[in-house]
Structure 1
Amino acid sequence: MRTFSKSSKLDNVCYDIRGPVMDEANEMIAKGEKIFKLNIGNPAPFAFNAPDEIIQAMTDNLRNAQGYSDSKGITEARQAIYDYAHFKGIPVESLNDIYTGNGVSELITMVMQGLLNNGDEVLVPAPDYPLWTASVTLAGGTAVHYICDESSEWYPDLEDMEKKITNKTKAIVIINPNNPTGAVYPKEILEKIADMARRHELIIFSDEIYDRLLMDGVEHTSIASLCPDVFCITLNGLSKSHRIAGFRVGWMTLSGDKSRVKGYIEGLNMLSSMRLCSNVPSQYIIKYALGDYTKTDDLLLPGGRIYDQREYIYNALNSIDGLSAVKPKAAFYIFPKIDAKRFNITNDEQFVLDFLREKKILLVHGGGFHWEQPDHFRIVYLPKLEDLEYSMNEMRDFLKDYKQK
């Protein structure tokens, strides 16, 4: 039986998720050039304001938030998270199994630092949210990327996942709903992943930050709800769903069999205490944000801005010769495919750089999400409809004569 202990070493690895495209964009901005950004999932710059009650809740509690909290978070925040987790079917046993964080990103780094020793492996999806790979690397581990299949709605390729498990594998990461594809995994897929983790005695890390940004009547299932016998860490937060990315408010819940991970949990408690606590003013808004589990944001319904912009970008991309895209079911990203042979593309980063230089529009190349083939890029469809229309007209014009040199 596998056992897990808190990690004893950290590899001194520096990982830059920005790269030369972002560096060039910043240089262009510094020179006074106007860059149109389709690269980052931050709702605020695109006039998506936080709900009024969220701002009011933080304002009303500022005087209560002047000191440190418990390292895992204030009781009322963890109680709200506990209640939400049980609504989702996640079998969290107590408030002690809940940790608040300065966004999910901080917690991703923390869970990997607590788990991995040099040479340990973690299965991470391709494409992925790149911080997962970076955090595995920083902790001294190796991110082994399993393929998500574009021809099957971007669902994980279970055969590929299975064959990449070795005696060094410690965990499986899933991102559901997915960034950058917008895929939402069906229950049947999640049950098979849970069974895989069970058979190989692996931890499951489930990044569910977009679980309230669903469209088309799609329902989200938390994998932890399907395997109460498997140790799972489920990560979530408010940055995207409540348009408060700058407030840095996230959390994680521990569930399942903890008998083999006692040393790991000790490590998590130590790491949690070392940063004293997460942002206390933001903790006070969790209760208000999670108050209505069943409400669907009007922005995600037909006629709502996110829904309509999703419809536009999906249809526009598929109308451009040489591009195709799977319709996302959640979040606000789309991961289109470009015909690499048609445009002689051997370097997707160079393609994005060429587009930036000619059209002053910033995208992210597929390789930034650990997609190995030079044939994808990500678009954030948060900008207003007229701006998306402009960007797609520019893309159509750019591709008319483009050949990579």
Structure 2
Amino acid sequence: MEGDGTTGWHISRPSARGAPLADAGSMSIRAVLGRVFSSVDASGPRPVLTLGSGDPTACASFRPPPEAEDAIVDALRSGKHNGYSPTIGVLSARRAIAEYLSRDLPYQLSRDDIYLTSGCCQAIDVMISILAQPGSNILLPKPGFPLYESRTMFSNLEDRHFNLIPDRGWEADLESVEALADENTVAMVIVNPSNPCGSVYSHDHLAKIAETARKLGIIIIADEVYDHLAFGNKPFIPMGIFADIVPVITVGSISKRWLVPGWRLGWIAMCDLNGILKEAKVDKLIESYINITNDPATFIQGAVPQIIANTKEDYFMKILNLLRNSADLCYGKIKETRGITCPHKPEGSMFVMAKLDLSCLDGIQDDLDFCCRLAKEESVIVLPGSALGMKDWIRITFAMDMPTLENALERIKSFCQRHAKLEA
């Protein structure tokens, strides 16, 4: 590194080599929401209502089960979980997660199929990093979770985007998947239940995805961080049930179903009935990469078996009912608001995508402009769709208490009425 004549410190200025990190960081949801938040009038009389992030814990209605909190206390007080953990995870936690995931599968995962990570984000980091070979590419959904784009950019792995079709419940456009894939394609990512779309895939559609991936000779990375958060007509079905057709890497965490995103406990599960991933030594690559990264906190790992075993089903049903009611409210209010349309009622996760009709809104340039003006005038935060690859759309989070959500949606409606173009 060259010395800086101004400061005297040997710190290099940003270069082409550092550009991917700067560019990747600017694409994150946190970075985009930071730009929107900067538009808020801090001196305004009304509280800021945040419908932009995927963290429901700010709402008192979305608390973790007491059994999970008790499990953490027990793990801490046991004195057994104060040291370093094995890099791939504590044995009892890996076994418990294998059993948990196997409940929904026609076969049994073993502890050796499970690798623990610091949240689902690290699981994504691991998989993108080990797949990033020179010249390779990966197929990502559009719209999708932007961490995938950030990680591929930083790892110099080419991303190619296949469309999700709004009018078909945000199903994957499998014709575009086939058109995008080539001999250098290493994997296809699906997110189900969907962030950001709020969709839940049917058994038939998942089967078609599996058959398409087999035809192309690529693996599937199934992001199931919102597993079982399905409250519509379609149940959650894990991609791993098709592991006899195509190798599936499932990434997930306890963050969303147990409402503890800050606990940072995630996993990678290899669903590899035909041994294709093991033959390609993907398991060894995962373990090697995890050996040079951080582990989840040991006491969280130690608590996992008790968290899974002791949480009562009525807790999960309560959360699903809260999400179903708030999704109904959100969808209904959007339908009442001129200038915004929602092509598909959310059936899962905590989000809905809504399209802006800028022809109805006077002086609004694009989705970022809409969100920044909404923040300034109404103290309401929503995420611009351009952060998710969908220009002139917005993502709304509905995981909050009903009065607050209704207040926020009424403010959005007032904003759109105030900026409505006069009809000729």
TM-score (norm 1): 0.89
How far off its partner does 1:23 sit?
Answer: 3.0
Distance 2:43 2:201 in 1: 44
Contact 1:112 1:139 in 2 (8 A): yes
Q: What is the 5 A alignment of 1:199-210?
A: 199-210=215-226
Using the aligned pairs only, state the percent identity: 23
How far off its partner does 1:10 sit?
Answer: 11
How many residues are paired up?
392
1:264 aligns with 2:282: yes
> In the superposition, relative to structure 1, how do residues 27 and 129 fare at CA in structure 2: closer, same or farther (>3 Å)?
same
How far off its partner does 1:21 sit?
Answer: 4.7
Distance 2:371 2:129 in 1: 33
Q: Which residue of 1 aligns with 2:101?
A: 85
Contact 1:324 1:337 in 2 (8 A): yes
**SS where residue 395 of structure 2 aligns?**
strand
1:50 aligns with 2:64: yes
Deviations 1:200-245 (A, max 9, x none): 1111100011112111353111122113242211011111111111
1:351 aligns with 2:370: yes
How far off its partner does 1:38 sit?
Answer: 0.7
How far off its partner does 1:294 sit?
Answer: 9.3
Deviations 1:242-277 (A, max 9, x none): 111111111110122444653433221111111253
Question: Once structures 1 and 2 are overlaid, which stretch shifts more, 254-263 or 324-333?
Answer: 254-263
Question: Once structures 1 and 2 are overlaid, which stretch shifts more, 10-19 or 117-126?
Answer: 10-19
Deviations 1:102-133 (A, max 9, x none): 11001101111111124321111111111112
Match of 1:333 among 329, 340, 351: 351
Q: What is the 5 A alignment of 1:207-218?
A: 207-218=223-234
**SS where residue 315 of structure 1 aligns?**
helix
**SS where residue 129 of structure 2 aligns?**
helix
Contact 2:326 2:398 in 1 (8 A): yes
Contact 1:58 1:282 in 2 (8 A): yes
> In the superposition, relative to structure 1, how do residues 388 and 254 fare at CA in structure 2: closer, same or farther (>3 Å)?
same
How far off its partner does 1:190 sit?
Answer: 1.0
Q: Which residue of 2 aligns with 1:22?
A: 34
Structure 2 residue runs without a partner (length 5+): 1-16
Distance 1:196 1:156 in 2: 11
Deviations 1:255-304 (A, max 9, x none): 22444653433221111111253221211232233337993623345xx3
Q: Which residue of 1 aligns with 2:9?
A: none
> In the superposition, relative to structure 1, how do residues 258 and 125 fare at CA in structure 2: closer, same or farther (>3 Å)?
same
Structure 1 residue runs without a partner (length 5+): 1-8
Given residue 103 of structure 1, which amino acid in structure 2 is its aligned partner?
G
Q: Which residue of 2 aligns with 1:283?
A: 301
> In the superposition, relative to structure 1, how do residues 10 and 173 fare at CA in structure 2: closer, same or farther (>3 Å)?
farther
How far off its partner does 1:186 sit?
Answer: 0.7
1:383 aligns with 2:400: yes
**SS where residue 394 of structure 1 aligns?**
helix
Given residue 147 of structure 1, which amino acid in structure 2 is its aligned partner?
N
Q: Which residue of 2 aligns with 1:111?
A: 127
Distance 1:58 1:362 in 2: 33
Distance 1:54 1:12 in 2: 39
Q: Which residue of 2 aligns with 1:60?
A: 74
Distance 1:343 1:119 in 2: 44
How far off its partner does 1:172 sit?
Answer: 0.1
Q: Which residue of 1 aligns with 2:379?
A: 360
> In the superposition, relative to structure 1, how do residues 104 and 158 fare at CA in structure 2: closer, same or farther (>3 Å)?
same
> In the superposition, relative to structure 1, how do residues 20 and 95 fare at CA in structure 2: closer, same or farther (>3 Å)?
closer
Distance 2:212 2:312 in 1: 31
Question: Once structures 1 and 2 are overlaid, which stretch shifts more, 169-178 or 350-359?
Answer: 350-359
Q: What is the 5 A alignment of 1:98-137?
A: 98-137=114-153
How far off its partner does 1:315 sit?
Answer: 0.7
Question: Once structures 1 and 2 are overlaid, which stretch shifts more, 239-248 or 304-313?
Answer: 304-313
**SS where residue 287 of structure 2 aligns?**
helix
Contact 1:21 1:352 in 2 (8 A): no
Deviations 1:105-162 (A, max 9, x none): 0110111111112432111111111111211222111221111111001111111222
Distance 2:407 2:156 in 1: 44
**SS where residue 318 of structure 1 aligns?**
helix
Question: Once structures 1 and 2 are overlaid, which stretch shifts more, 42-51 or 10-19?
Answer: 10-19
Deviations 1:54-89 (A, max 9, x none): 011111111221011111111111111111222121
Distance 1:220 1:332 in 2: 14
> In the superposition, relative to structure 1, how do residues 305 and 86 fare at CA in structure 2: closer, same or farther (>3 Å)?
closer
**SS where residue 336 of structure 1 aligns?**
strand
Q: Which residue of 2 aligns with 1:5?
A: none
> In the superposition, relative to structure 1, how do residues 67 and 216 fare at CA in structure 2: closer, same or farther (>3 Å)?
same
**SS where residue 299 of structure 1 aligns?**
helix
Contact 2:191 2:223 in 1 (8 A): yes
How far off its partner does 1:197 sit?
Answer: 1.3
Match of 1:38 among 35, 51, 71: 51
Given residue 50 of structure 1, which amino acid in structure 2 is its aligned partner?
P
Q: Which residue of 2 aligns with 1:225?
A: 241
Question: Once structures 1 and 2 are overlaid, which stretch shifts more, 170-179 or 393-402?
Answer: 393-402
Q: Which residue of 1 aligns with 2:21?
A: 13
Distance 1:271 1:90 in 2: 30
Contact 1:233 1:253 in 2 (8 A): yes
How far off its partner does 1:19 sit?
Answer: 3.8
Given residue 394 of structure 2, which amino acid in structure 1 is its aligned partner?
F
How far off its partner does 1:27 sit?
Answer: 7.1
Q: Which residue of 1 aligns with 2:11?
A: none
Aligned CA RMSD, in angstroms, stands at 2.5
Distance 2:152 2:106 in 1: 25
Q: Return the index of the structure with the highest Cα Rg.
A: 2
Q: Which residue of 1 aligns with 2:318?
A: 299
